[in-house]
Homo-oligomer: A and B are copies of this chain.
């Protein structure tokens, strides 16, 4: 930590900082600048942060130097983490496609969707069963009935499955039916839920929060990993900005940045980020070119009859065409689909 003193901080205020540091077992190095003093405090970031130096007299600000996450950091593990679900790998040489409808609606819908996305090249089937909806009056998901449908459709098509969980009961039930759990953007800082999925042994897709910095997102992953579950798959799905022409702003620079900072695999969700099916193919190609380990795409047999997020869902034929267009791009970055 770097403690920046006010230009008019007194000698005794500076002394107090150093005393506090020493008292708790840290060391402080003072640097006399042109018009102020800064103190470099050496020791564990979290421990020094807990000293409350920022509130002490004479302190202007405290600048952390070390990154706050540990287990998820590239420094903790140099090799990429590869997560294997049944025989599907995420984070390895392949770009992994996860596809399916926003919400599980019926067995017919899911059987059709599963078959179509599998034929197109998807390796994992998605389907929402517990839907966090902005309005209490909107369709909230089929819950356990939906999980049974998802499970049946996945087994039928030979695809592992993923669904979003939103609280402890849904986590408990979903764990019996799916292969991968998903934490949605709105729950990225639902720390109790993070800890609970950290105690399962299921892989977890952790979506970035709408207004989460990359550091906060990696800290959310740290919450999961600190509980012993290291099978975490990050997923960039757009952040909230002033621009309203797209539903959110897809932050693709997060892909190479996260790969630099962390060993965890990272997916991109081109559907929620853009909110418009006609932009999904372009952004999928961009995501693969940027180095994403996979995509999470909404595909619905009949988008205009979808109970949820129809405007951003691809029709199966469009998805098939898109996957074909992704193959040479994957090859160009040394991967395959």
Contacts and interface: CB of A to CB of B under 8 A. Distances in A.
A310 interface: yes
Contacts of A111: none
A260 interface: yes
A168 B166 contact: no
A4 B63 CA distance: 11
Copies of the chain in the assembly: 4
Interface in A62-94: 63, 65-66, 68, 75
Nearest to A139: B50
A43 B34 contact: yes
A22 interface: no
Interface stretch (A120-128, A152-160, A274-282): A274-282
A29 interface: yes
A253 interface: yes
Given A42-B33, A66-B33, A290-B285, A242 B245 contact: no
Instruction: For chain A, give the interface size range.
Output: 35 or more
A207 B331 CA distance: 32
- Secondary structure at the A interface, as helix, strand, loop or mixed, is mixed
Interface in A240-259: 240-246, 249-257
A56 B304 contact: yes
A145 to B, nearest CB: 18
Nearest to A188: B186
Contacts of A189: 132, 134, 186
26 contacts: A31-B31, A32-B42, A33-B65, A33-B66, A38-B65, A46-B135, A50-B138, A52-B305, A52-B307, A55-B311, A55-B313, A56-B304, A136-B226, A166-B190, A166-B191, A213-B242, A243-B251, A244-B244, A245-B254, A249-B253, A252-B252, A253-B279, A285-B290, A285-B333, A328-B332, A332-B332
Given A167-B167, A256-B278, A285-B290, 8 more contacts: A34-B43, A36-B65, A46-B137, A132-B191, A133-B191, A166-B191, A213-B243, A328-B328
